[in-house]
A and B are shown apart, each in its own frame.
Chain A
Amino acid sequence: MRARLLILAGAVLALLLSTLTGCSDGDSGTGGKVRLRFQSLAWQKESVAATKALVKEWNAAHPEIQVQYVQGSWDTVHDQLLTAFEGGEAPDVIHDASDDLADFAYGGYLADLRTLLPSGLKADIPARSWETATFGKGVYGVPFLQEPRVLIANSKILKSSGVRIPTPEQPWTWEEFREVAKKLSGKGRYGIAWPLKEPVSITLNLGLSTGGRLFHREADGKVRVAFEEADAAVPSVVHDQVNVDGSAARTTLGMGGSDTLPGFFGGRYAMAALGFSYRQQIVQQAPKGFEWTVLPAPAGSEGLAQGVSPQTLSVAEDSPHKEEAAEFVGFLLRPRNMVRLAQGDWMLPTGTAALKDPALHTARYGWATGAALAGALRSAPAQSVRGYPEWKDKVATPALQEYYSGAIDLGQLRKRLVKDGNLVLARYQR
């Protein structure tokens, strides 16, 4: 009797599985064509449209090399790629950010692009941008879009306060910025919102303007953390704005960039320190008649320098069609196409030819201000430091959060970043 039941259950199972295998993948039958999978992380309406349009154009012009657009997600790309690489099923062309590439590059999952890319593309992108995707001696991604952190300001409050309006040529110094934030503060209003839910990259990237490096590569090639005066300059200003001047909103310390927008629109913050691409959300969500402007981040001894981790396009080492994949990357990143991608993502292209496009130099939505900052963007300080993710999560994030909230002082912050930090990095550099 039991046997009959088991046979019955087995038969149902077999039937279901045979039905479902009809849904399985059909990658075969390519008819001699090369088929490439391109995993894109474009997510905003315009950027998805621009990317899909470029894929369509490529496919129309290259019937022998067909590209399939695959939608990925920023939130999950690292885990998803890691599994796909391990299983030998990675997409041929991979969209990611340069700060996510180090482990994949050192792990041998990405193709070295130095001999694969068209020379025009190699020459068009400046060396400082190539540095962001260079690991060891190889280049494992093409950096193509980047965004500086800027100050987005409520124009009415700014004008009525009478403060000097900064420009990329004459930015505020950090000291001046601190004074301005005080002036812009008032009853129920803060001068600046610092969304510091993820405080580490903002702190390190803006710290380049005052000469902060934090990570020092020594003669033996090992990296150690040092927190010097130049490294302390930017965090000190933010700390004092929150805890001494009261010109920065304490509540925003735990927020992401999007979370500050309602307060910004409601006049609670005169300025917000945000990525350049947040302009798209502001355009979509700002109340009618709301006037806003884009200002450069404050400058230090190194001028407007700040660190960035550009978006990149890479080719999988396991791809059987690396040359074709690189050819497709070359097509996507032709200057005119790079401009289309940049406009779709509300970011800046890395290519010098694309950056000259008049569409990126209009005053509307602050494009011109952003474009003027492009020359000051550098590789993020932690770009190729192995062990950085652990240092960031276990040491730097809690330490900086405590420092900005006033729970610990600068000496304690230094001790934790350096002493605990070097212990973490040492494990990766044995």
Chain B
Amino acid sequence: MTSRTSSTRSTSSTRSTGSTGSWGRAGQYLALLGYLVFLAFPFLWLISTAFKPARELGSLHPTWIPRHPTLDNFRQAFDEQPLLRAGLNSLVAAASAALIAVVVATPMAYVMARRRGRLATAATGWVVVSQAFPFVLLIIPLFLVLKSLHLINSVAGLVMVYVVWSLPFALWMLVGYVRAVPLELEEAAAVDGAGRLRTLVSVTAPLLAPGIVATGLFAFITAWNEFFFALVLLKTPEKQTLPVVLTHFLGAEGAADLGPLAAAAFLATLPSLAVFAVIQRRITSGMLAGAVKS
């Protein structure tokens, strides 16, 4: 009797836990769904707006699906502004900045992570402090320095700024990734007779690859979206980047040419999404590579 009761209690308890578990999981999925909807809303609305004719944009009862979808906004955006050239400028600036930032930051991060000492601590502190400077304060001295180097109105000048701007955070990210690679692996490789370079290339680098890719992605997206430096440093239309060109659809007192603006903004998001999609696979494969090595 006692045992039956106990068994019944146990089953009931298991059922109850199972029920709570499934409710909990449903709640998690719901929360995730809500979060995804929250994230996707602006992008979906942007797409919807990009395909709406002007008269639907002024409707008191806007719809998700355009009633009379049109490509006119895209045509107008391309007619009025040099979007392709601006896109190319943005791509060159962002890709170069990301590449350089990663190339410069990786060895620095390795040193900062592996060498513990006053210098490394001071360097880490400086990286943190440098993030506290609002760049509005830096823009005029920066402008003057670049001017003396004849790098105003130059994509090269802009790339230098983007590298300097993204470097501290890239460094900060990479230091974390390097610290996550067990030192014992490098020591084991050394015991097996691998030299320093071989250890770095064959053992550390594969494990660090996802971090390097993620850091590069961060630097790319930061530079791709950057507006203020590009606005100030690039003078001529041939050099302007996409975020600067997008503001040309805005008028005084918040007035906007909404349709072409949405069309251009939608197009401007595509390259960073594409880069993300491609690089995400690399991050996964890098993780797997690291797992096999360890």
Using a CB–CB cutoff of 8 Å, the interface residues on chain A facing chain B are: 1-2, 4-6, 9, 12-13, 16-17, 20-21, 23-25, 27, 37, 41, 43-45, 48, 68-71, 73-76, 79-80, 83-84, 86-89, 91, 97, 197-198, 256-258, 261-263, 265-266, 268, 275, 277-278, 281, 284-288
Contact = CB atoms under 8 A, between A and B. Distances in A.
A278 B256 CA distance: 11
Contacts of B196: 1-2
B248 A71 contact: yes
Contacts of B55: 284-288
Given A1-B197, A68-B236, A285 B147 contact: no
A9 B58 contact: no
Interface stretch (B150-158, B183-191, B279-287): B150-158
Interface in B38-94: 54-55, 57-62, 76, 80-81, 92
A75 B247 contact: yes
A287 B55 CA distance: 6
Given A12-B99, A198-B253, A257-B254, 16 more contacts: A1-B197, A4-B197, A12-B100, A16-B159, A24-B151, A24-B157, A43-B249, A45-B76, A73-B247, A79-B228, A79-B232, A83-B139, A197-B254, A257-B253, A275-B253, A284-B55
Contact of A76 (B144, B151, B156, B231): B231
A70 B235 contact: yes
Interface residues of B, number: 60
Contact of B255 (A5, A21, A257, A268): A257
A24 B237 contact: no
A87 B236 contact: no
**Residue from A27, A87, A287, A288 having most chain B Cβ neighbours under 10 A:** A87
B33 interface: no
Given A9-B103, A23-B155, A25-B153, A83 B250 contact: no
Contacts of B151: 24
B107 interface: yes
Interface in B143-202: 143-144, 147, 150-157, 159-160, 195-197, 200
Given A9-B107, A44-B257, A89-B235, A284 B54 contact: yes
Contacts of A262: 58-60, 62
**Residue from A21, A48, A197, A257 having most chain B Cβ neighbours under 10 A:** A21
Contacts of A13: 100, 103-104
A140 B117 CA distance: 59
B61 A21 contact: no
Going nearest first, the 10 A-B pairs with the smallest beta carbon separation are A285-B58, A266-B60, A24-B154, A20-B156, A73-B247, A256-B254, A25-B153, A87-B143, A23-B155, A74-B252
A241 B107 CA distance: 67
Contacts of A83: 139-140, 143, 232
Contacts of A25: 150, 152-154, 235-236, 239
A183 to B, nearest CB: 23
Nearest to B201: A5
A280 to B, nearest CB: 9
A240 B96 CA distance: 59
B58 A261 contact: yes
B253 A87 contact: no
Given A73-B247, A265-B60, A86 B143 contact: yes
Contacts of B155: 20, 23-24
B251 interface: yes
23 contacts: A1-B196, A5-B107, A5-B197, A5-B200, A12-B100, A13-B103, A13-B104, A17-B160, A20-B96, A23-B154, A23-B239, A25-B153, A43-B248, A43-B250, A70-B235, A71-B245, A74-B250, A87-B140, A258-B255, A262-B59, A277-B255, A284-B55, A285-B54
A37 B54 CA distance: 33
B137 to A, nearest CB: 12
